[in-house]
Structure 1
Amino acid sequence: MKQIVAALVLVFTSTGVRAQIGVISPIEANKLIENPDPAKRPLVIDTRGGYKDYFRGHLPTAHHLNFDTLRGTDHGVPVQYLPDDLTRALLVRAGVNKNRMHLIYATGEELPNDEILSASMVAYVLEKYGVRNIQIVDGGLPEWKKQKLPVTQEYFGNPSGTLPETMNLGIALNIDDVLSRKGKKGVVLVDARPKNEYLGEDEIWLRKGHIPGAISFHWARLMEKDNTHKFKPFEQTKAALEAAGLTADKEILVYCGTSREGSLLRFYLKHVAKYPNVRLYEGSWKEYVSLKQYPAERTENKAQ
């Protein structure tokens, strides 16, 4: 746990202590929520897709923002990120504020539970829209309950938010970015889906396999087996990442099926492992398979 808490980097500014993007323990998150000064409390965002789960119980002061409201079909391709104006309206409605800390969480259980991907996707969207103060609650709601911290059924609506003036578009990739960068020296393209989908052994996708040249690294390898919302310390994953060719000196291009799994892998590499150059292909495999002028591959690639 010490290694995870260490991912919470504190920066002293003229206005006090400000946290950067990372992971926070439930105990530390609860202390922030219980700050006697409401102006200094963080914004708490419950990203779960099931609204009834929110009704059953959630963190105190949590505002429900269903992760999937940030996506929709575009030009026939499902679950694409919404246009900027719509996304901004949703984030402002959720109370996202450039001057506040944001605590993000969902549920964590054994696979096939993957709701941590809801939290990492929303964290990615906030980061892209310029928010710099984001913490994912390590272990999610199950770890929160395990620590016997308070849960409520009371609704909490944040006041309208204020987004940063400048977006952080450098963390995003489109198809042209991927095609122009992959295969170059020092660049690694990595598929965060389960291995069977990477190899095309699935019933899900219009076309089978992966983007040619991509290596495979399933996002779940970074999480604890008994809680898919709980991050393994970097010291426990470093050898596996290095064996896959995912090292801090590389330019890493991440994708998956719909960008949720990729958002988790990118979050870990960037904000837990502290790799400097990691970006997410937002269209991911769902978009790539619709672009039939580009080939798919089913043979496994190894680290160079």
Structure 2
Amino acid sequence: MQSLRFTICSLFLMLAFAMFGSTARADIDIISPAEAQKLIESTDPAKRPIVLDTRGGYKDYFRGHLPTAHHLNFDTLRGTDKGVPVQYLPDDLTKALLVRAGIDKNRMHLIYATGEKLPNDEILSASMVAYVLEKFGVENIRIVDGGLPGWKAAKLPVTQEYFGNPTGTLPEKGKPEIALNVDDVLTRKPTAVLVDARPHNEYLGDDEIWLRKGHIPGAISFHWARLMATDNTHEFKPFEKTKNELAAAGLTTDKEILVYCGTSREGSLLRFYLKHVAKYPNVRLYEGSWKEYASLKQHPAETKENKAK
């Protein structure tokens, strides 16, 4: 009887692997340039990923990009709405742009950009596009760790040949719950950790950028760049090297974390790291971020420093 049970169990496991083994790695994470190259050059077309160059400068794409990279300028996904700049487009427009870019519910998506030194922050275009894909239900996403600088440092091939993906197919169901609007933030923040991912000077209101100065009352400051390598802002620090710093800021796995920044790009990077590198279970992004909140003058702002509770 025990032998029969073992045989049945083994057959069940083999069947489950045959059915689901090919999709077991359908998740959201980072990937090394070397691993990315292997996938791009796979002899099996079904295993080749959709490669997205998300840089805002199309001439950067012309100068050189990863093989089979389709240029998806991150800023085509945003526009002015009711006078507030760089708001996410309506869902129907976003879906049309993603389908045109070849986003495919059955494929892996490799995302990258370049510009490894601050103040260049093109890594944020990669995390923003990853966030948009996730919100629209895509579950198989990798950001190339190190971006194009890491790719070139590994002496991997770069091309100037254009590449266009065939028309894509989006998942039927998205994940709108990862996004927050201003009312969500105000409702949730008394029991959650609200974190501002902008540079510290902007958090304190020492800038020439924003309509109003400071931050959302109660927010703590954690600049996204603290999570990235100092010599390449496209290379993620391992969680083992950041967990004490995150914990000291009050960013721990047991809390609901609400992230925002200036226009949501910096926040998308912090959210990507917490959710998909550090594997925090409950992290959401306020899409409107400070550029929207600053225009809503019925809501207060503050410039004092808040510390972790």
Residue 187 (structure 2) aligns with: 180
Identify, as 1 or 2, the structure richer in helix.
Answer: 2
**Contact between 1:58 and 1:141, CA under 8 Å: does it hold in 2?**
yes
1:196 lines up with 2:201 in the alignment: yes
From 265, 275, 279, the counterpart of 1:274: 279
Residue 5 (structure 2) aligns with: none
1:54 match: secondary structure: helix
Q: Distance in 2 between matches of 1:142 and 1:108?
A: 7
Q: What does 1:147-226 correspond to in 2, within 5 Å?
A: 147-184=154-191, 187-226=192-231
1:63 lines up with 2:70 in the alignment: yes
From 282, 297, 302, the counterpart of 1:297: 302
1:45 match: secondary structure: strand
Q: CA deviation at 1:14?
A: 2.8
1:264 lines up with 2:251 in the alignment: no
TM-score (norm 1): 0.95
Residue 91 (structure 2) aligns with: 84
Q: CA deviation at 1:197?
A: 0.1
**Contact between 1:108 and 1:230, CA under 8 Å: does it hold in 2?**
no
Residue 6 (structure 1) aligns with: none
Residue 16 (structure 1) aligns with: 22
**Contact between 1:214 and 1:301, CA under 8 Å: does it hold in 2?**
yes
Q: Distance in 2 between matches of 1:193 and 1:139?
A: 21
1:170 match: secondary structure: helix
What is the root-mean-square deviation of aligned Cα atoms in Å? 1.1
**Deviations, residues 165-222 of structure 1 (Å, cap 9, x unaligned):** 01101100000000001122xx100000000000000000000000000000000000
Q: CA deviation at 1:19?
A: 3.2
Flag structure 1 segments of 5+ consecutive residues without an equivalent: 1-10
1:135 match: secondary structure: strand
Letter in 2 for 1:141: L
2:43 match: secondary structure: coil
Q: CA deviation at 1:108?
A: 3.8
Instruction: Name which one, 1 or 2, has greater alpha-carbon Rg.
Output: 2
From 259, 284, 291, the counterpart of 2:289: 284
Q: Distance in 1 between matches of 2:152 and 2:166?
A: 27
Q: Distance in 1 between matches of 2:243 and 2:109?
A: 28
Q: CA deviation at 1:109?
A: 1.1
Letter in 2 for 1:83: P
Q: What does 1:133-152 correspond to in 2, within 5 Å?
A: 133-152=140-159
Task: Say how many residue pairs are matched.
Answer: 292
Letter in 2 for 1:285: W
Q: CA deviation at 1:38?
A: 1.7
Q: Distance in 1 between matches of 2:261 and 2:271?
A: 11
Q: CA deviation at 1:160?
A: 0.2
Q: Distance in 2 between matches of 1:210 and 1:49?
A: 27
Letter in 1 for 2:257: I
Flag structure 2 segments of 5+ consecutive residues without an equivalent: 1-15
**Contact between 1:108 and 1:139, CA under 8 Å: does it hold in 2?**
no
Residue 136 (structure 2) aligns with: 129
Residue 43 (structure 2) aligns with: 36
Letter in 1 for 2:300: P
